[in-house]
Amino acid sequence: MTTTSADLLQRFSFDAAPIRGEIAHLNECFSEIIRRHQYPQHINVALGELLAATALMSATLKFKGRLTLQIRLPGHISLLQAEADEQGQLRGIARYDADQPDDQLSFEDGQMVITLEPEQGQRYQGITSIHGGNVAAALEDYFSQSEQLPSRFWLSCDGQQAAGFMLQQLPSEQKEIDQDAWDRVSHLASTIKDEELLGLDNEALLHRLYHEETVRLYPATALRFFCTCSRQRLATALHQVGHQAIVEMLQETGTIDVNCEFCQQHYQFGQDDLPELFPENNLH
């Protein structure tokens, strides 16, 4: 039995149809992400949905690395971003004009950007335009415009927890039979209510939707909040700025202070850290 108060990702499949599904529940990891920011509630909700979608899609990662989903928008709320790696580690941010915090979140004239960054190998980025709706509609636009396996998403967030449900067609030669099964299975999923997706455990949800099908449920994997920032990464970035420029900045301000945008971790570098930042200068 899976409990919905956990942070987990669970795959299921249908014995009679080449379709797989994923269900994601984000509780503690979602709280960890939003408590680091003071986003207005409607931004938390949209970010929760995007995080749930990112968790669902991370189930299909076939490499070590990172998947990033961005929704770029022209209004006061300019960016929603969620990231996941192959170990189910998630983080996310929103960028918006703090002077207009209550501005409506509209997905008109936006872009969905999906980036895959394997630790080894080629980075891939796909960009599609989105035309209103919500996070699930933006993702479905993306999947229908790009050469991906047909996929459908149902996402919910109440500001405290987020959950997502995905269906994806698997490659098969029996096209016509597939279409019937796909239509039936997605039609049933369209009857999910937000409170069911957020509140029912996975067995109960799948039974409620597909009690006439044979559904196979696979072991769940954990999701958690994790930020990839580190003092070492920042030191590398400062090193790239160059010795001269950093020395001048330190002379002006005394310290260089950086806050990680994702987790709000504060890092500080001072005069004493120059040997750590520029070890090659120690030789002179």
The footprint of Zn ion (CB under 5 A) covers 227, 229, 260, 262-263, 265
CB 51 within 8 A of CB 43: no
| Residue nearer to Zn ion on the CB measure, 19 or 263 | 263
Residue 12 neighbours by CB under 8 Å, 6+ apart? 20, 21, 22, 23, 202, 206, 215, 216, 217, 218
Structure tokens at 224: 């958690």
Query: Shortest gap between Cβ of 123 and Zn ion (angstroms)?
Result: 21
| Residue nearer to Zn ion on the CB measure, 39 or 142 | 39
Query: Shortest gap between Cβ of 250 and Zn ion (angstroms)?
Result: 23
CA–chain centroid gap for 196, Å, is: 21
Query: Shortest gap between Cβ of 80 and Zn ion (angstroms)?
Result: 17
| Residue nearer to Zn ion on the CB measure, 135 or 227 | 227
Residue 21, strand partner residues: 12, 167
Query: Shortest gap between Cβ of 272 and Zn ion (angstroms)?
Result: 23
CB 33 within 8 A of CB 81: no
| Residue nearer to Zn ion on the CB measure, 11 or 91 | 91
| Residue nearer to Zn ion on the CB measure, 51 or 263 | 263
85: number of Cβ within 10 Å? 18
* Burial grade of 72 (CB within 10 A; 0-12, 13-18, 19 or more): middle
CB 133 within 8 A of CB 108: no
- Which amino acid does the sequence have at 102? D
In what helix (H) or strand (E) does residue 236 lie, and over which residues does it extend?
A: helix 231-241
Query: Shortest gap between Cβ of 262 and Zn ion (angstroms)?
Result: 4
| Residue nearer to Zn ion on the CB measure, 184 or 231 | 231
Query: Shortest gap between Cβ of 231 and Zn ion (angstroms)?
Result: 11
| Residue nearer to Zn ion on the CB measure, 145 or 265 | 265
Rounded Cα–Cα distance for residues 164 and 166 (Å): 7
3-state secondary structure of 263: coil
Query: Shortest gap between Cβ of 228 and Zn ion (angstroms)?
Result: 7
Q: Give the number of residues written for the chain.
A: 284
Query: Shortest gap between Cβ of 35 and Zn ion (angstroms)?
Result: 14
* Burial grade of 99 (CB within 10 A; 0-12, 13-18, 19 or more): exposed
| Residue nearer to Zn ion on the CB measure, 166 or 227 | 227
